[in-house]
Structure 1
Amino acid sequence: MGFLLPLIFAILSLVAVALANHAAQPAPQLYWNSILPNTQMPRSISELLRPDSTNEEKSTNIMNAVGNGKPTDHKGKPENIPLALAIYRDYGHPTDIQLDYKNAAIFFLEKDMRPGATTNYQFPRNSNTATFLPRESAQSIPFSSNKLSEIFNHFSVKPTSAEAKTIKQTIEACEAPGIKGEEKYCATSLESMVDFSTSKLRTRNVQAISTEVLEKGATMPMHKYTIIPGLKKLAGDRVVVCHKQNYPFAVFYCHAIKPTAAYVLSLKGDDGVKVKAVAICHLDTSEWNPKHLAFQILKVKPGTIPICHFLPTDHIVWAPNHKSA
């Protein structure tokens, strides 16, 4: 029996360490592990996790994030409009944004994704640093245009401030009707994002992928990139794409539009920096507003040809985890 005691103590120690590590994980990560045990969490999500703290502590910290993501005056100069905003906003609604990004391939055609092709682009990160709240905490805070006063009060935001304008704009975008064939949802927690994405894909056997700059800490101004071999098309013609919004805590605008194709490309910049880039191709644009920026840039009409764009580094594409035909 004596020789068994050290073994028993060793096993108990390992169990204690495992339980301690489990307890230290944020609630959203525990939910991910339970629902998606075989799905690798992309960096764009893992960076938004942190151990749970009290609502009061979070309210103090997350206001700093909103301050970094102040709303843009869309009537200002073109260079003041974020590139990411120009990419995916207003698929079906009128927009007065008239931009001249002649030096950047914001939108491109599906046929242009081939090894050796070059493109000018930058992969910026949203300055909004807000992180996820556990679902219960997020659900305890109103998220409705009818509750703006209560929301401003919760986060100690003055109704006339830039932060209040950001909050109002994000909620209104979430409440606006989608275009024909679009299923949209604003996820106010990682748990709700997982639930929405897996329900629309009708499977939990999924992959979640984001654009990643492979050199840690690299700054990403405009660069000329060359597509190198390794183009991969994700499975199916239906994906869910989630775009990070400016808000006091992490909120993602998620939508499923069919038919849509998603690709993962390997890019190499003229400075040597490598990027694993995610590209989304909208195969049917017939319901888009004719004044959408994509048609201005590519000189094509709605519904005539697939239109593609890269995803910024803090956006996520969800797709079935099986090989395409």
Structure 2
Amino acid sequence: MGFHLPLIFAILSLAAVALANHAAQPAPQLYWNSVLPNTQMPRAISELLHPDTTNEEKGKPEIIPLAREKYSSPPSDEGKPEIIPLAREKYSPPNPRKRYARGSPPSDSQLLHYKELAIFFFEKDMRPGATMKFQFPRSSNTATFLPRESAQSIPFSSNKLPEIFNHFSVKPTSVEAKTIKETIEECEASGLKGEEKYCATSLESMVDFSTSKLGTRNVEAISTEVLERGATMSMHNYTTMPGLKKLEGDKVVVCHKENYPYAVYFCHAIKQTAAYVLSLKGDDGEKVKAATICHLDTSEWDPEHLSFQILDVKPGTVPICHFISTDGIVWVPKHKSA
């Protein structure tokens, strides 16, 4: 039997291209493809694995503390992360999972402003035709994932703060040091009753935690995505469009991106929770696919939680819903027939 050299060369060429593409993929993506071959990677994750050209050239993660002016640190001789705080003018709504017993309560003027926005809302507000005022800003938190082995080699503990500050060339008295400290302390704090929490310092560990708590690797990972930007970047009145989708399962894992020199996600498995995907259209044409969580049992929440003040309800009386930010991830079991 003769050899078909053109065919052999073609096969070898395709194999070489496949190997090159495989080698070019970052380790976290390879792990995702291996563990979750049937799960589409949400934009909130893929953007951190394939950052823009500028960040690729730097090859460094970033730390984005809140409410600070943006600047670029001088290049580090030791190849340590560049620190780029979040621009002050960026809109940053209150974090829905924060309990106000840990910090200062909002002022009367702040509370009045919050009541005008859909920071928290009721399930009935998701019906088609309902309107809500909100803003879905582009995420400024561009800190990228480290491979699991790299992340595990860096301390992540309040007992190791001096070592962490030194590793990232951060002065202990700086706002960056304060941000690092607050993030670690939040990760170490006890959770609510019935809440299973975990801070994932790598994509691999986030995948492992989420799938273990859901009890399956047949999962969906959903993020909020602005599908089409409107004419302005200001606050919009959004109309809920037909096509509300309730996601599967009676247990949900939600992962929120933290401010840290590399991508760290605060994940918590929450019982008595429903997850939805809403289609929203802004008054200037902006279109948003909004991942949404409704907490069905709030009886264990702090009575001073902002949600109760905004909605004028008491703990445990009614489900409370909120959007997930564009850098957050909602994990749910996938429909068996999917």
Q: One fold, TM greater than 0.5?
A: yes
Alpha-carbon distance change, 219 to 317 in structure 1, aligned in 2, over 3 angstroms? farther
Alpha-carbon distance change, 243 to 145 in structure 1, aligned in 2, over 3 angstroms? same
Quote how far apart the aligned CAs of 1:217 are.
9.4
Report whether the alignment pairs 1:83 with 2:100. Answer: no
> 2: CA distance between counterparts of 1:30 and 1:202?
22
Q: Which residue of 1 aligns with 2:60?
A: 58
Q: Which residue of 2 aligns with 1:67?
A: 84
Alpha-carbon distance change, 276 to 50 in structure 1, aligned in 2, over 3 angstroms? closer
- Which letter maps to 1:10? A
> 2: CA distance between counterparts of 1:228 and 1:252?
30
Match of 1:289 among 296, 302, 313: 302
Q: Which residue of 1 aligns with 2:69?
A: none
Give the total of aligned pairs: 312
> 2: CA distance between counterparts of 1:284 and 1:304?
8
> 2: CA distance between counterparts of 1:69 and 1:142?
24
> 2: CA distance between counterparts of 1:143 and 1:32?
23
Alpha-carbon distance change, 62 to 256 in structure 1, aligned in 2, over 3 angstroms? farther
- Which letter maps to 1:236? G
Q: Which residue of 2 aligns with 1:152?
A: 165
Q: Secondary structure at the match of 2:212?
A: helix
Q: Which residue of 1 aligns with 2:325?
A: 312
Q: Which residue of 2 aligns with 1:134?
A: 147
Quote how far apart the aligned CAs of 1:222 are.
0.8
Quote how far apart the aligned CAs of 1:24 are.
0.1
Q: Which residue of 1 aligns with 2:33?
A: 33
> 2: CA distance between counterparts of 1:281 and 1:143?
31
> 1: CA distance between counterparts of 2:86 and 2:213?
30
Q: Which residue of 1 aligns with 2:65?
A: none
- Which letter maps to 2:243? G
Quote how far apart the aligned CAs of 1:180 are.
0.3
Q: Secondary structure at the match of 2:48?
A: coil
Alpha-carbon distance change, 292 to 189 in structure 1, aligned in 2, over 3 angstroms? same
> 2: CA distance between counterparts of 1:145 and 1:256?
23
Quote how far apart the aligned CAs of 1:103 are.
2.5
Structure 2 stretches lacking a partner, 5+ long: 62-75
Report whether the alignment pairs 1:24 with 2:24. Answer: yes
State TM-score, norm by structure 2. Answer: 0.86
> 2: CA distance between counterparts of 1:208 and 1:62?
31
Q: Which residue of 1 aligns with 2:105?
A: 97
Q: Which residue of 1 aligns with 2:5?
A: 5
Quote how far apart the aligned CAs of 1:202 are.
0.2
The question of whether the paired residues in 1 share the 8 Å contact of 2:80 and 2:169 is answered with: no
Alpha-carbon distance change, 264 to 120 in structure 1, aligned in 2, over 3 angstroms? same
- Which letter maps to 1:285? T
> 2: CA distance between counterparts of 1:190 and 1:209?
15
Report whether the alignment pairs 1:109 with 2:122. Answer: yes
Q: Deviations over 1:122-181 (max 9, x none)?
A: 012442210000000000000000000000011111111111111001000000000100
Match of 1:271 among 284, 302, 313: 284
Match of 1:171 among 177, 184, 193: 184
Quote how far apart the aligned CAs of 1:215 are.
1.9
The question of whether the paired residues in 2 share the 8 Å contact of 1:235 and 1:323 is answered with: no
Alignment RMSD (CA, Å): 2.5
State TM-score, norm by structure 1. Answer: 0.90
Quote how far apart the aligned CAs of 1:84 are.
4.3
Q: Deviations over 1:57-82 (max 9, x none)?
A: 53657743x43249x9xxxxxx9993
Structure 1 stretches lacking a partner, 5+ long: 73-78
Q: Secondary structure at the match of 2:228?
A: coil
